[in-house]
A and B are shown apart, each in its own frame.
Chain A
Amino acid sequence: MKALRDTHVTLSHGGGGKAMRDLIESVFTEVFQPPGMEDQARLMTGALQEPGARLAFTTDSFVVTPVEFPGGDIGKIAVCGTVNDLAVGGGRPLWLSAAFIIEEGCEIALLRRIVASMAAEAVAAGVRIVTGDTKVVERGSADRVFVTTSGIGVIPPGRNLAADTIRPGDVAIVNGVLGDHGAAILAARGDMALSTNLRSDCQSLGHLMQAVLAAAPATRAARDATRGGLASALNEMAEAARVGIEIDETLLPMRDEVRGVCEILGLDPLYLANEGTLVLFVPEDQADAALAAMKATEAGRGAVIIGRATAAHPGTVTMRTLFGGSRIVDMLVGEQLPRIC
């Protein structure tokens, strides 16, 4: 391993010279072990040779404050987020790229921790980080580190998960509790001075999706309920499918602490971000199979049916409230802000 004696990143680590090479080798490639050191990854897979197989390709940038939080860090999210974007489309995630924009002054120990957690999550999710990039920007131009990951997966022949295939009567299932990530991050930021034992739900959903698709091949579509929460994911799906979606408030799984954070800050948990929670729709006759398959996976132990698609009010999500009232669950307008009134 190349010796890297610096403790903090300086602009010289972005200058293209020896310092940069040392940083890349010592912090990144030593851990990620990409296949070859050319400027591009060269990928081979048998799965692609199959007639009708399709490539799935996605990209996502990650900015999160704080960069390390209970339950994860920006690196883990960057791997999970891109893996999940591939997984919910029915693809088997295979390869990731990882690009880092690093603020001058960022501790190298922090970078090492982030890289280690990315490598571990990649192993867990069964993907390889095969190429990457680093840039260093002046202090104030970034918040310690930003990460962009792109991912490639393979969708086997005949599989077509898409929101516009959802039909009235289909059952909506989530894989676990809602809002942990959003509430944990709010608390971890510290500006509201709340302390909790909440941890981000940040996790890869690739194995879970493979299990569901094996058990319930007619699964229509899945979405990970990230920014904008469950409410936004459901609204996107209702709109794409031109169906109504009705969920039941009493069925929504949520931790007491998440409810507590929401009550204190006047937030609606349906809009809290998740980083390892998805909602999927299956035809009613495969709902039990899908549910059982999910429950058998680590990421799906808390799986539960939360509602169904309806022919009524296409494009709109409604929720039956605790005592039988009904209200519309709309898209979020802007960012959800804490309120006192």
Chain B
Amino acid sequence: MKYVTEFRDPKAAKSLLAAIAQTADKIGVTRAKPLHIMEICGGHTHAIFRYGLDKLVHEGVEFIHGPGCPVCVLPMSRIDECVEIARQPGVIFTTFGDAMRVPGHKQSLLQAKAAGADIRMVYSPLDALELARRNPDREVVFFGLGFETTTPSTALSIQAAAREGLTNFSIFCNHITVPEPIKALLDDPDMVLDGFIGPGHVSMVIGTHPYDFIARDYHKPIVVAGFEPLDLLQSVLMVLTQIAERRAEVENQYARVVPEHGNPVSLAAIDDVYEKRPSFEWRGLGEIDASGLRIRPKYAAFDSEEKFCIGYAAGPRHFEEPEGCACGAVMTGRIKPTACPQFGRGCTPEMPLGALMVSSEGACAAYWQYGGARAAAE
């Protein structure tokens, strides 16, 4: 696999690990007094566990698993709203597979499907669009979720639907943005982070400048990283090198995919279709100002919230989290998944209580799946 295999070369990994260890020793970090490096993106979390990187790097480097899994930060009430839309007569509700098992207050989408709702998994919003074209007598709704990486795909789909004059296609928009929650984390007085691994695929859309504030205002290094193991290790080394040299800059390890200024077509589509919500609720983090997107009024015909008068369109909302769930503390890096009183007891991948256990990108599910649970028990 071109651009994949060569970034999984074990020999290069060995040199990187040695260089990381030397730099960590130079900084003087230890297991007892480690550096806390947050990988913002859930894809990075997944790769770290899949390749066992957490166990291979110098013991003075600790990964903190950030809030960058769109499924994990989705509030339960949004799943409830999905189920409500899906149950309306005539609706075909389409979604990425990721969202199927996320618990709502009463049902997950998987359970709603079993109860008779027409819920279909698709790979792309384009597939939902095609369903709408083929089923003019049905109302096709696409569950739009994800960060800036995914936002252009739904924006371009709405533009296409508008061009074609489709009247039976809409998007339930749950798109969120990366910089705002990072700022919220950095403003947290309990924050312990020393540096960041930046989200590579978000950055291919928005470029590297939206992170400038992290280096400029908070004096933390951030390295935008690719998703193969060598990408991640090289990025860790770059963060450590910045720390050793007392620099705080935005660096781009993933230049083969990430242009400095992002992708102009994607950015234009996002700007045409979406606008910032005043605030949006994040599971475990609460309301964050200007962290969510909504569909602009000119595209209201393609906005499921308007079409079904649901969600933020239905008026004031109240928020609640499941009792005893410590997803928020885990996501901000204050505690490890295993320190949550529900971990492995009230909350397992079979019966997830908190969102971090639902998605395979969630820190808790990754801990469980790849052995963190057992490591902790041993």
Complex: A322 Cα to B97 Cα, angstroms: 28
- Distance between A72 CB and nearest chain B CB, rounded to angstroms: 24
A192: B residues at CB distance < 8 A: 122-123, 127
- Distance between B359 CB and nearest chain A CB, rounded to angstroms: 7
B308 at the interface (CB under 8 A from A): no
A260-B1, A324-B10, A341-B361 are known contacts. Are A191 and B121 too (CB-CB below 8 A)?
yes
A193 at the interface (CB under 8 A from B): yes
B225: A residues at CB distance < 8 A: none
A340: B residues at CB distance < 8 A: 96-98, 123, 146, 150
A58 at the interface (CB under 8 A from B): no
- Distance between B51 CB and nearest chain A CB, rounded to angstroms: 5
A328 at the interface (CB under 8 A from B): yes
User: B8, A327: Cβ atoms under 8 Å?
Assistant: no
**Cross-interface CB contact of B56 among A263, A324, A338, A339, cutoff 8 Å:** A324
B51: A residues at CB distance < 8 A: 321-323, 325, 327
A313-341 interface with B by 8 A CB criterion: 313, 316, 318, 321-328, 330, 333-334, 337-341
A227 at the interface (CB under 8 A from B): no
User: A338, B96: Cβ atoms under 8 Å?
Assistant: yes
In terms of DSSP, what is the predominant structure of the interface of chain A? loop
- Distance between A262 CB and nearest chain B CB, rounded to angstroms: 11
- Distance between B66 CB and nearest chain A CB, rounded to angstroms: 13
Give the total number of A-B pairs whose CB atoms are below 8 A apart: 97
Could you mark each residue 116-136 of chain B with 1 if its beta carbon is under 8 Å from any beta carbon of chain A, else 0?
000011111001000000000
Task: Considering the complex, give the chain B residue whose CB is closest to the CB of A326.
Answer: B52
User: A316, B374: Cβ atoms under 8 Å?
Assistant: yes
Could you mark each residue 175-194 of chain A with 1 if its beta carbon is under 8 Å from any beta carbon of chain B, else 0?
00000000000000001111
B66-123 interface with A by 8 A CB criterion: 69-71, 96-98, 100-101, 120-123
User: A338, B123: Cβ atoms under 8 Å?
Assistant: yes
User: A341, B52: Cβ atoms under 8 Å?
Assistant: no
User: B98, A327: Cβ atoms under 8 Å?
Assistant: no
Could you mark each residue 33-63 of chain B with 1 if its beta carbon is under 8 Å from any beta carbon of chain A, else 0?
0000000001100000111110110000000
Complex: A323 Cα to B7 Cα, angstroms: 12
B188 at the interface (CB under 8 A from A): no
Complex: A333 Cα to B1 Cα, angstroms: 29
B324: A residues at CB distance < 8 A: none
Complex: A313 Cα to B378 Cα, angstroms: 10
Task: Considering the complex, give the chain B residue whose CB is closest to the CB of A318.
Answer: B371
Could you mark each residue 1-39 of chain B with 1 if its beta carbon is under 8 Å from any beta carbon of chain A, else 0?
100100011100110000000000000000000000000
Q: Which residues of B pack against A, CB within 8 Å?
A: 1, 4, 8-10, 13-14, 42-43, 49-53, 55-56, 69-71, 96-98, 100-101, 120-124, 127, 146, 150, 229, 349-350, 359-361, 368-371, 374
8 nearest A-B residue pairs (beta carbon): A325-B52, A328-B371, A337-B97, A323-B10, A338-B97, A333-B349, A323-B13, A339-B98
**A-B contacts, 17 listed (Cβ < 8 Å):** A260-B1, A322-B10, A323-B8, A323-B9, A323-B14, A324-B10, A327-B371, A330-B371, A334-B101, A337-B100, A339-B96, A339-B359, A340-B146, A341-B42, A341-B71, A341-B359, A341-B361
